[in-house]
Amino acid sequence: MIKYLLIIVAVIGMAFMFYPLVEEYSVATGLNDLANTYVYGSVKDLNMPNTVTAVVVTYRGLDTLGEVTVLFLATAGVGFLLRRKRKNSETRRHGSEILQTGAAFMSPLIILLGVYIFSHGHLSPGGGFQGGVVIASGILLLVLARVDFKFSHGIIHFSESLSGVGYVIMGVLGLLLLGVSSFLDPRYLPMGEYLYLFSSGAVPVIYSFIGLKVGSELSSVIDSMQAGGCDQ
Amino acid sequence: MIVLIGGFILVIIGIWAMLAKKNIIRIIIGFSIVDTGIHLIIVALGYVKGATAPIIDTAVKMQSSVSTGMKLVTKVVDPVPSALVLTAIVIGLAVTALMLSFTIRLFKVHGSLNIDDYEELKW
């Protein structure tokens, strides 16, 4: 009884804490200075239509590197906790005929869509994180459909490490070619033509590395959960 | 405004679920609800009245003159909260997967999903 009372007190306390956020909220009618700098800088300096990508990859690129590291740590934790056991593929049913046929047809298309999303991240809504998740969902469909679907762990780990190292190398190249305080500055590659695929410097390359990394990491999460979860 | 209130309600529901529920998987679902609510709040804080997505292509009208340089005619929303939420969604997914794998390990070791059966950290 006292426990429920405490829970109610805690919930009401949290509601009271958050309430000023709702009460003092008023819809903004214009951008603040920081957002203005980012929006205009993205078009003028970086030649990039998608300003969200400009913030994620360039202006706050170091934060994104940190986020990718957090993602890597979480994936490593999942892989550590759910180590693969032998003889585990017998306990699970096969997917139905419809699921198997549909997965065989759809999965390559879903993965292709993921590649499209992350390679066009600087032009259209999308980018590395979303494209990576779409790729992982294609892999998930394959894993659901076929019990005997096996990853090549070598390829997954190779693409994960390669994209991580590539991301850092692209950042360091900016540091080397453009001078100090330009880590992850993409302007050392040609800026290209506005609204074309090969534009805005190194951003498509960096975002493709992020997309590959997120996709392979989430695929290995799916694989660990499938392998570690079904042998009990 | 409705997005902000919806996110606020989701955060409260999720905190209640995390505190009141006994099943570990339900606690994780509560965490996910808090996560979603916070995403909604952040996106709502970045909204600008009558604005469109911050992608400066042909749909966004621009005005350029020699004296003032380039100026947007169509309003766009703040890109910074969108960028924050973009990464936070993927990180939330990975953290949820990590918590679920902890749950799988706990279930393998103790054979229970009830949080009351784990008394090692109680005082």
Contact B83 A67 (CB under 8 A): no
What percentage of chain A carries pLDDT values higher than 70? Answer: 94
Nearest CB neighbour to A81, from listed B91, B93, B105: B105
Task: Report the C-alpha gap between A105 and A64 in whole angstroms.
Answer: 34
The number of C-alpha atoms within 13 Å of A26 and in the hemisphere containing its C-beta is 3
Min CA distance, B65 vs chain A (Å)?
A: 14
Chain A residues in contact with B58 by the CB 8 A cut-off are 195
Mean pLDDT of A87-103: 77
- Provide, as residue numbers in chain B, all residues whose Cβ is less than 8 Å from the Cβ of A62: none
| Alpha carbons A39 and B11: distance in angstroms, whole number | 31
Across the range A169-174, mean pLDDT stands at: 88
- What is the spatial distance between Cα B33 and Cα B27, in angstroms, rounded to a whole number? 10
The rounded mean pLDDT for chain A is 85
Residues of A in contact with B92 (CB under 8 A): none
Q: Taking CB atoms and an 8 Å cutoff, what residues of chain B touch A7? A: 16, 19-20
CA nearest to B56 within chain A: A49
Task: Please give the pLDDT value at position A232.
Answer: 42
In 3D space, the residue among A72, A63, A56 whose CA is nearest the CA of residue A206 turns out to be: A56
Give A 72-111 residues with CB within 8 A of chain B: 74-75, 77-78, 81-82
Query: A67 vs B87: CB contact, 8 Å cut-off?
Result: yes
Cα separation of B18 and A2, whole Å? 17
Are A52 and B54 in contact by the 8 Å Cβ rule? The answer is: yes
Instruction: Give B-chain residues touching A217 at CB under 8 angstroms.
Output: 94
In the structure, what pLDDT confidence band is assigned to residue B65 with cuts at 50, 70 and 90? low
pLDDT of residue A47: 84
Q: With a CB-CB cutoff of 8 Å, which residues 180-199 of chain A face chain B?
A: 195
Reply yes or no on whether the pLDDT at A90 is more than 80: no
Q: What is the DSSP letter of A94?
A: P
Q: Which of B98, B99, B106, B109 to mutate to test the interface with A (most CBs of A within 10 A)?
A: B98
pLDDT per position as a tens digit, B24-58? 999 999 999 999 999 999 999 888 888 888 888 77
pLDDT of residue A131: 92
User: Is the CB of B78 less than 8 angstroms away from the CB of A56?
Assistant: no
Contact A52 B87 (CB under 8 A): no
Which residue from A185, A163, A160, A165 is spatially nearest to A173, judged by alpha carbons? A185
Is the pLDDT score of A133 beyond 50?
A: yes
Q: Name the β-bridge partners of A50.
A: B55
Higher-confidence position of A76 and A195 = A76
Pick B47's closest partner by Cβ from A27, A133, A221. Answer: A27
Q: What does the pLDDT read at residue A86?
A: 54
pLDDT score of A61? 85
Residue A198 clears pLDDT 90, i.e. is over it: no
Amino acid B68: pLDDT: 63
Q: Which of residues 144-173 of A touch B (CB under 8 A)?
A: none
DSSP B7: H
E strands within chain B?
Answer: 62-65, 69-72
User: B62 with B56: CB under 8 angstroms?
Assistant: yes
ipTM for the assembly: 0.83
Residue B118 — left, alpha, or beta (φ > 0 → left; ψ -120 to 50 → alpha)?
beta
